[in-house]
Amino acid sequence: MKKIRFLPVIVALAFYGCIGTDIVEESIVPTDLTISRSVDSLEVGSSFTFQADYFNMFGQKEVVPLSWSSSNTDIVTVTNDGLANGIARGSAYIRANFSELIDSVRVVVAEEVAVQQAAERNGAFRGNRGYAVNGAFFLREDGSSLELEFDTDFSSSNGPGLYVYLSNSTSNVNGGVEVGRLQRNSGVQTYSIPMTRAQLNTYDHVLIYCKPFGVPFGVGTFLN
């Protein structure tokens, strides 16, 4: 008697809720250059190393030869490595350049700079492709790392292999940073990200991502 095997069908049905008819294609996006680590003020005689990130047409972070410059070297200078030095009181723009892409930050140089609180960004999730993901989140600097926190109102649909990613795309995680496996489907949770992997302004989105099938369940977009 010929045997009939049902197991593959059962497995396929078990995961249908995650993949459904979703087909995630590699998208082409505009290349981008962003100063991701910066300050807006320096004391005379002090220094700070700026950092910029370049993302190629696939949204992937890529190491490229950057050019750094200052709009007024009498106020602030900057080396080829992004090291800025406060020279005299005033203001100037620090610029990062690659090919035709430019990003700039205005820096005020003063005799004394007030201590600033650690910068913070916030955003909100929305569901994607019929999945339900809601709630607010915060990203803040914490020493040598970033802290990503989901607020009390966070909730997400169930699914296999859900992970948290930082990304510059709303549809895939190419060039992004894997933060970790989703700790729980609702409520407050915190993730630590070393600053060697990302800076506060490197990425624009937080994704709740079904890793086995490459499907974004939810997209969080920073509001600032």
**3-state percent breakdown (helix, strand, coil) of the chain, nearest 5:** 5, 50, 45
Tell me: pLDDT of 73 over 60: yes
Cα 186 to the center of its chain, rounded Å: 22
Q: Which residues contact 9 (CB under 8 A, 6 or more apart)?
A: none
Q: Mean pLDDT across the stretch 194-208?
A: 94
pTM score of the predicted model = 0.71
Q: Mean pLDDT across the stretch 110-118?
A: 70
For tokens 């249908």, what's the residue? Answer: 16
Tell me: pLDDT of 32 over 50: yes
β-partners of residue 82 are: none
* Calpha distance 82→67 (Å, rounded): 8
Instruction: State residue 113's pLDDT score.
Output: 75
How many residues belong to the chain?
224
- Given the candidates 3.40.50.1980, 2.60.40.1080, 3.40.50.2300, 3.20.20.70, the CATH classification of the domain at 32-110 is 2.60.40.1080
β-partners of residue 74 are: none
Distances (CA, A) of 139 to 10, 93, 176, 197: 40, 26, 15, 14
> Is the separation of the CB atoms in 110 and 44 below 8 Å?
yes
Residue 164: count of CB within 10 angstroms of its CB: 24
DSSP conformation class of 50:
-
Q: Mean pLDDT across the stretch 139-162?
A: 94
Tell me: pLDDT of 123 over 50: yes
